[in-house]
Amino acid sequence: MADLKRPAFDADQRSSLLGWFQLQREIVVLKTDGLAEADVHRVVIPTSPLMTVGGLLSHLRWCEHLWFQVAYSGVAESENPMFEDDPDDNEFIVGQGKPLDQLVAEYEEECRRSDAVIAAAGLDDRGAGTTFPAAGATLGWMIHHMFEETARHAGHLDLIRELLDGEKSYF
């Protein structure tokens, strides 16, 4: 098991927020450790067939891109499948058929790109994107939102992993 750490009790607000956010990202990757390739895209929740390990990794990758590249930095939305009209939830689908190591690598690379944006700005700085109303939110708001998004899906991954192969862990 990876050596996951919570932020220090006496961390300043920025360090605390980013520490908790990073912990959730690490938990997402941890939930893929040792997963059989055959299970990456296996559906275990019949009412949510796109919610697979692969689908969630792809979704989280594109959420990182949406908030830190498109909404905050103002990068064109054209490369992000979340903006395509059809089909709905395309960001879950674009990961279908990709091997686990590629999905993890793409997610981690997008997180590094996000981290570079975050490191260069203040929490009260406003996004440069204009595509949708929340694009004008502060970077701090966007980080809080992505922390919530990542934590929610880390919980989904925890349950999906247990349903796939019985693997359980505190994190």
Closest CA to 53 of 40, 62, 37: 40
Q: What is the CA radius of gyration of the chain?
A: 16
- Write out the residue range of the structural domain in which residue 124 sits: 20-165
Residue 7 located in a structural domain: no
What's the pLDDT tens digit per position in 155-168?
A: 999 999 999 999 98
pLDDT for the residue 16: 97
Q: Has residue 108 got a pLDDT over 80? A: yes
Question: What mean pLDDT comes out for the span 140-152?
Answer: 98
Residue 4 located in a structural domain: no
Q: Has residue 72 got a pLDDT over 70? A: yes
User: Quick one: CA dihedral 159, 161, 163, 165, positive or negative?
Assistant: negative
Residue 8 located in a structural domain: no
Residue 1 located in a structural domain: no
Residue 31 located in a structural domain: yes
Residue 157 located in a structural domain: yes
Q: Has residue 68 got a pLDDT over 90? A: yes
Question: What mean pLDDT comes out for the span 41-56?
Answer: 96
What's the pLDDT tens digit per position in 9-23?
A: 999 999 999 999 999
Residue 139 located in a structural domain: yes
What CATH number does the domain containing 134 carry?
A: 1.20.120.450
Count up the domains in the chain and report the number.
1
Q: Has residue 89 got a pLDDT over 90? A: no
Q: Which residue has the tokens 């990709």?
A: 98
Whether 72 contacts 62, CB under 8 Å:
no
State both tokens at 135.
């694009």
pLDDT mean across residues, the chain = 92
Residues above pLDDT 90, as percent of the chain: 76
How crowded is residue 75: how many other Cβ atoms within 10 Å of its Cβ?
Answer: 18
Residue 47 located in a structural domain: yes
pLDDT for the residue 32: 97
2 pLDDT band, cuts 50/70/90, is low
d(C-alpha 134, C-alpha 142), whole Å: 9
